[in-house]
A and B are shown apart, each in its own frame.
Chain A
Amino acid sequence: MDDKSRRRVRTLRESHVNLSHGSGGKAMRDLIEDVFVAAFDNPQLAAMEDQAVFPFAELALHGDRLAFTTDTFVVDPLFFAGGDIGTLAVAGTVNDLAMSGARPLYLSCAMVLEEGLSIEVLRRVVASMQRTAQLAGVTIVTGDTKVVERGAADKLFINTAGVGVVPAGVSISAANARVGDAVIINGTLGDHGTAILIARNQLGVSCDVASDCQPLAGLVAAMLAACPDIHCLRDATRGGVATVLNEFAESSNVAIRIDEDALPLREEVRGACEILGLDPLYLANEGKLIAIVPGEHASAVLAAMRAHPAGECAAIIGEVCAAPAGTVVLNTCFGGQRIVDMLVGEQLPRIC
């Protein structure tokens, strides 16, 4: 918990969220000041205006285009190995901005709280958000709080929107992949998906896989420094690496060939997938990106990634080819080939 919150004049006496915390009155103000303003700790938010205002000149220092995105976070359980809904809410939006090459700057934070939620839980989540925001170099400058009746929401939902600035000359798009480009990932696949499966405790197995939840803005900046001409960049969240590769192949009308042997994979994740009949290519990640870069710059980008903490296990996993256009093909570890298609519905464990 943030120590500063204890020093504030306005303090919250209740131990659990109730409907008055969303009423717009004094209780709500106490909650906002004691929990959010105290933790996020910046003058924009502390001004308690209805909006954050920033001068163009300040933005223009970073580039020539604004990037703007939003994402909503609902996860059960709220806390899991390697992160929680707060880390996700900041890292997710930061990463969506970073995938345009933007430097993320400001975030909003809107929360829907279920009546009866423990304030202690809320403080832990908010502290994670602040920690992650600091790591990513962003400030949470505006917010909103709603409380709904018990049962109308599952504990805590978070929406974050973010703005960032794209450096001049950077042009990244899913449609930019070219034949001969290299496909790079910044580390192991499927850690988040596995951590969540384990945390739900339906499997009766335990293992120490932690979520890879992390902001990627710093890594992207390092990659752009090594090669400003990165063609495609996307974080492989829900739907996993397979989905992102299919999006690239389709948008760019190219084939992407990847080598199963080259995919970085933790033994624990591989084991869980073998047991459950799941495919790690489709498991969710929260701190992994796929980059498509010109073949001649691949080793420079890879070296820059490996020098960054968020890319230590980076690997080149495949290449962009001409045919069959719009398709992702996997060279299996066995020496065969197969298609890697978009996932239909959820991955469901197999019967036997």
Chain B
Amino acid sequence: MKYVDEFRDPGKALALSREIHALTATIARAKRQPLQIMEVCGGHTHSIFRYGVTQFLPDEIEFVHGPGCPVCVLPMGRVDDCVALAERPEVIFTTFGDAMRVPGSKKSLLKAKADGADVRMVYSPLDALALARQNPEREVIFFGLGFETTMPSTAMTVLQADAQNVSNFSLFCNHITIIPTIKAILDEPDLRLDGFLGPGHVSMVIGSAAYDFIARDYGKPITIAGFEPLDVLQSVWMVVKQIAEGRAQVENQYARVVPRDGNKVALAAVAEVFELREFFEWRGLGSIAHSGVRVRERYAAFDAERKFALPNLRIADPQSCQCGEVLKGQLKPQQCKIFGTACTPQTPLGALMVSTEGACAAFYNYGRIDTSGLSASKATKEDQHGR
């Protein structure tokens, strides 16, 4: 398939793998601990596990799976609010598919649906707006979720609802923003990270310039990365090269999609509809200043938080749950006390086990395998052909 297969070429992967091994060898002499590279975005986490990218890296490089899975960082209290909204008899509650299974303190949206709530899966907020027009007697609420990747489409939908006077449409806004969270991670006193893979599709909206502070103020290299396995591997190579050469810069591997200044139209729509919240609660990370957005006063008529009374409770994560440590890179998924026992994709306790982009679910689904002695049978075959 065009524009897909080129980015999954096993021969190129092996070549990159060799270069990464060679580069790492030059660094490892000076440094005892393994290099830690955080992939901020859940899409990268998914690719890494799905394609077995770690199997191409030397043991001296570790991925730390970052907070960039919006489904995973959603706190239980917000899920409870969703359920409360969905269970109102007049409401059709619309959501992206992978948010359906996230556990609240009592139930998930999937369970609420089974119990009789009118919860519908949509592929775009515009589908929700169309539903509102088709059902004028019902209130259609869209569960707005995600980073800057999905924020513009939600903003455009609110603008359309406003222009078309669709008064029975509202947004339950849980959009979050990545930069303050990366900052919070960088400010952790026990930070060990050596570099970052920057999110691809968030950056398509906000641009690569938004990360300049990481290199300038914190001295950490970052490479904005695409989502195909070769993208990820090449980006790792770029980060490792920066480390080897003692540089800390913002580099853009995903230049075919990400411009330096982002998408001005999208950013303008976002700025028109949303404003920063003072704080937003993240599952596992706690409250982070200016990390979430809410609907501006001007569009209050489309804000479900203003339209309906919400329980709005802060629910602590289950005590046994170590999602926070995993999110910060202090624990690997399989080192969590309840990984694979009390917490599995079937009965997720922690959010990281819920979405396929969550580090724990990705590791559980794809990674529980001893891959020592790779590179895979096929890689060996290719190698033999090459000789």
Whether B229 sits at the interface, judged by CB under 8 Å, is: yes
Whether A61 sits at the interface, judged by CB under 8 Å, is: no
Pick the most buried of A327, A335, A345, A350: most chain B CB atoms within 10 A of its CB. A335
Pick the most buried of A261, A277, A329, A334: most chain B CB atoms within 10 A of its CB. A334
Whether A270 sits at the interface, judged by CB under 8 Å, is: yes
**With A and B bound together, what is the CA distance between A201 and B56 in angstroms?**
40
Given contacts A336-B55, A337-B371, A338-B50, contact A348 B13 (CB under 8 A): no
Q: Which residues of A contact B369 (CB under 8 A)?
A: 324, 327, 329, 337-339
B378 touches A331 (CB 8 A): yes
B376 touches A204 (CB 8 A): no
Whether B284 sits at the interface, judged by CB under 8 Å, is: no
Q: Which residues of A contact B13 (CB under 8 A)?
A: 334-335
Whether B87 sits at the interface, judged by CB under 8 Å, is: no
Given contacts A335-B13, A336-B55, A351-B96, contact A202 B123 (CB under 8 A): yes
The 8 Å CB contact of A350, one of B97, B127, B365, is B97
Given contacts A338-B49, A341-B365, contact A351 B145 (CB under 8 A): yes
A333 touches B96 (CB 8 A): no
Whether A309 sits at the interface, judged by CB under 8 Å, is: no
Q: Mark A221-232, 1 if CB is under 8 A from B, else 0.
A: 000000000000
Q: Which residues of A contact B375 (CB under 8 A)?
A: 335-336
Pick the most buried of A202, A327, A339: most chain B CB atoms within 10 A of its CB. A339
Q: Which residues of B contact A341 (CB under 8 A)?
A: 364-366
Q: Which residues of B contact A9 (CB under 8 A)?
A: none
The 8 Å CB contact of A334, one of B123, B229, B366, is B229
Q: Which residues of A contact B279 (CB under 8 A)?
A: none
Q: Which residues of B contact A206 (CB under 8 A)?
A: none
Within 8 A of A (CB), among B37-63: 43, 46, 49-53, 55-56
B150 touches A335 (CB 8 A): no
Pick the most buried of B56, B147, B365: most chain A CB atoms within 10 A of its CB. B365
Within 8 A of A (CB), among B116-145: 121, 123, 127, 145
Q: Which residues of A contact B52 (CB under 8 A)?
A: 332, 334-338
**With A and B bound together, what is the CA distance between A193 and B288 in angstroms?**
42
Residue of A nearest to B126 (CB): A204
Q: Which residues of B contact A349 (CB under 8 A)?
A: 96-98, 121, 123
Q: Give the size category of B's interface with A.
A: 35 or more
How far apart are A69's CB and chain B's nearest CB, in angstroms? 28
A338 touches B370 (CB 8 A): no
Q: Which residues of A contact B234 (CB under 8 A)?
A: none
Q: Which residues of A contact B292 (CB under 8 A)?
A: none
**With A and B bound together, what is the CA distance between A267 and B46 in angstroms?**
22
B101 touches A335 (CB 8 A): no
Whether B149 sits at the interface, judged by CB under 8 Å, is: yes
Given contacts A335-B10, A341-B365, contact A352 B376 (CB under 8 A): no
**With A and B bound together, what is the CA distance between A335 and B382 in angstroms?**
9
Whether A77 sits at the interface, judged by CB under 8 Å, is: no
B4 touches A274 (CB 8 A): yes
**With A and B bound together, what is the CA distance between A224 and B357 in angstroms?**
43
How far apart are B15's CB and chain A's nearest CB, in angstroms? 11
How far apart are B359's CB and chain A's nearest CB, in angstroms? 15
A204 touches B53 (CB 8 A): no
Q: Which residues of B contact A57 (CB under 8 A)?
A: none
Q: Which residues of A contact B10 (CB under 8 A)?
A: 333-335
Residue of A nearest to B4 (CB): A274
The 8 Å CB contact of B8, one of A334, A348, A351, is A334
Residue of A nearest to B100 (CB): A348
**With A and B bound together, what is the CA distance between A336 and B233 in angstroms?**
12
Q: Which residues of A contact B150 (CB under 8 A)?
A: 351-352
Q: Which residues of B contact A345 (CB under 8 A)?
A: 101, 110, 346
Residue of A nearest to B201 (CB): A352
**With A and B bound together, what is the CA distance between A337 and B356 in angstroms?**
17
**With A and B bound together, what is the CA distance between A337 and B149 in angstroms?**
30
Q: Which residues of A contact B209 (CB under 8 A)?
A: none
The contact sample of 23 A-B pairs, CB cut-off 8 A, is A331-B376, A332-B51, A333-B51, A334-B51, A335-B14, A335-B56, A335-B375, A335-B376, A335-B379, A335-B382, A336-B52, A336-B55, A336-B229, A336-B374, A336-B375, A337-B55, A339-B365, A341-B366, A348-B100, A350-B97, A350-B98, A351-B71, A351-B150
Report B's interface with A, CB cutoff 8 A: 1, 4-5, 8, 10, 13-14, 43, 46, 49-53, 55-56, 70-71, 96-101, 110, 121, 123, 127, 145-147, 149-150, 201, 229-230, 344-346, 355-357, 364-371, 374-379, 382
Beyond A334-B8, A335-B375, A337-B376, 16 additional contacts (C-beta under 8 Å) are: A202-B123, A203-B123, A270-B4, A332-B50, A333-B51, A335-B52, A336-B376, A337-B52, A338-B367, A339-B366, A345-B101, A349-B121, A349-B123, A351-B70, A351-B355, A352-B149
